[in-house]
């Protein structure tokens, strides 16, 4: 799963920065949050486009209750990765994979690409839904 890999790469970066020494899970989800949010909203826009629904109007509501939503989102993610120490299994899995392959791509490259692609998809999905830009 792509988010597990992003989690692992974010964790790697967190270790290097030493800013997340006492909460490594936090370092892992830090890099996942933007991509997860962008992808979720992309999916929402696409559903709206194809089903002619109004799901995306929820972004207006979320913006109003943004602090509550953000808090719930972060707590949910922390719970997901902390539950039965899932985060450790993810780290071990990808560490083994990288050791077998013998190569390690710098986490910034992976996270940067994932972020740009996620935002690009969100932008395109939004334009497609609104019929703007290249979809006008």
- Give me the long-range contacts of 83-89 (CB less than 8 A, separation at least 24): 87/7, 87/11, 87/24, 87/25, 87/28
Residue 8: which of 117, 84, 95 has the closest Cα?
A: 95
Q: How many residues bind another protein (CB under 8 A)?
A: 46
Smallest gap from Cβ 100 to another protein, in A, equals: 26
**Biggest distance spanned by C-alpha atoms of the chain:** 50
Q: Enumerate residues 4-63 that contact another protein by CB under 8 A.
A: 13-14, 16-19, 22-23, 26, 30-31, 33-34, 37-38, 41, 44-45, 56-57, 59-60, 62-63
52: left (phi over 0), alpha (psi -120 to 50) or beta: left
Smallest gap from Cβ 105 to another protein, in A, equals: 16
Q: Enumerate residues 76-135 that contact another protein by CB under 8 A.
A: 108, 111-112, 115, 119, 122-123, 126-127, 129-130, 132-134
**Tokens 């209750």 correspond to what residue?**
65
- Which pair of structure tokens corresponds to residue 115? 């972020």
User: Site residues (CB under 8 A) for another protein?
Assistant: 13-14, 16-19, 22-23, 26, 30-31, 33-34, 37-38, 41, 44-45, 56-57, 59-60, 62-63, 66-67, 69-71, 73-74, 108, 111-112, 115, 119, 122-123, 126-127, 129-130, 132-134, 136
């Amino acid at each position: 799963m792509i988010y597990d890999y992003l989690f692992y790469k974010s964790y790697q970066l967190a270790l290097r920065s030493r800013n997340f020494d006492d909460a490594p899970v936090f370092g892992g989800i830090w890099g996942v949050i933007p991509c997860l949010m962008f992808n979720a909203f992309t999916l929402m826009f696409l559903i709206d486009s194809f089903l002619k629904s109004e799901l995306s109007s929820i972004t207006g509501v979320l913006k109003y209750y943004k602090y509550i939503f953000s808090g719930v989102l972060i707590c949910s993610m922390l719970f997901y990765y902390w539950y039965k120490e899932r985060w450790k299994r993810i780290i071990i899995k990808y560490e083994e994979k990288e050791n077998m392959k013998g190569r390690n791509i710098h986490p910034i490259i992976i996270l940067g690409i994932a972020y740009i692609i996620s935002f690009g998809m969100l932008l395109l999905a939004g334009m497609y839904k609104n019929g703007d830009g290249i979809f006008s």
